[in-house]
Structure 1
Amino acid sequence: MTDRFRYLSRWCALVLVLLGAGAAVARSTTVVPPAFEELVLESDYVVHGRVTAVESFWQERGGSRVIVTQVRVEVLEVIAGEPPSPLVLTMLGGTVGEQSMVLEGAPQFEVGDEDILFVQGNGRQVSPLTRIMHGRYRVAKDVASGREFVARDNGEPLTDTTEVAQPLHTEEGAAATATGEVPLAVRVERALSPAEFVQRIRAVKPAAN
């Protein structure tokens, strides 16, 4: 990691948390939320994609044995920059057998997830997402109307790109502190559609020709 990421990662002593018969290794991480323009410009590329496979395995890194997860993404749309093909995101953490290694706050992926992903330093950092949890935006659907909308990694509807710079609360219901007392249904109705979000990203950084 370099200074231009402008977030602080505190690599604390490994903390063991018992999970049944296994153990989870947690690394504490503090991330400074970026302004929307910073998020876009810091990213090597931005894609709208769908997760098709998730695989975790042990790997030797710097003399230590760690769990690494690879997430294969089907690129539905290149929004900015020029992603590789195929696109496989590599990140620290995951579960192998009864042992888990968790980078606190890092997004967790499942097959079928549809996201807009801001990628930076894939394979060279603990997380391939720009500013970790701030680099993933979910494509969700309102059950009542069937309308697709963009949500932050914690599921909070994104109603304006200025909200990118707000802290991303991971506890359920905590995001209300960033959006006031506006009901969830109203926030969903006001949330940006994927097409609107893509348009605003491209206004900052277009796709490669």
Structure 2
Amino acid sequence: AGLPDGSSQVLAIGNDGNVYHQTRFTNGSWSGFAPLPGIGTPTMAAWDVAIAGLPDGSAQVLAIGNDGNVYHQTRFTNGSWSGFAPLPGVGTPTMAAWRVALAGLPDGSSQVLAIGNDGNVYHQTRFTNGSWSGFAALPGNGTPTTAARTVGIAGLPDGSSQVAVVGSDGNVYHKTRFKNGSWSVFGAVQGPYGASTFPAQRAAIAGLPDGSSQLVVTRS
């Protein structure tokens, strides 16, 4: 994740299954990896992580712990951490998931996506005051839920977000979350040579300062 001062925040899940973090400073030097503590443990074991930088220089972190639940914490501008805490699910005290994605927006809010254990995509907003909207299923085209294999999200300068998923059919789909909180419908991403769909294993998306987005996929 990139921050406004030009530094970067890096997360990695090591071969021991624990989450490690380091900073790349503006002069190109590195802090070196250090483990992130869990809840009452010296390390945080996880199988998926996501991080996003915010305009105030803080960063938001998500991790799916070894118990299969989604955890969140904040890295503050002074380099201290809030500590991991579980995110509630839909009518449950914890959110069980196997993929997470996270994007920061210019107003300081964050957009969170998770693929739940039912295989459907869920979304929520973390507001600038630190409160949460709560997870809700992301509708498909004419369906109450969107089944997906992987998910990615990017925030843009105008306050909108771009979402890319690999659907349950193995094809890449895209939709926009507008600044007012409404959504476009999912549209299939075209493949090469005029193909109407693009089969893929994973998809990642990033927003640029001019309002465009870059989409990268791993072909299936």
- Tell me which protein shows more helix as a share of its residues: 1
The TM-score normalised by the length of structure 1 is 0.27
- Tell me which protein shows more strand as a share of its residues: 2
The TM-score normalised by the length of structure 2 is 0.27
RCO comparison, higher one (Cα < 8 Å, 6+) = 1
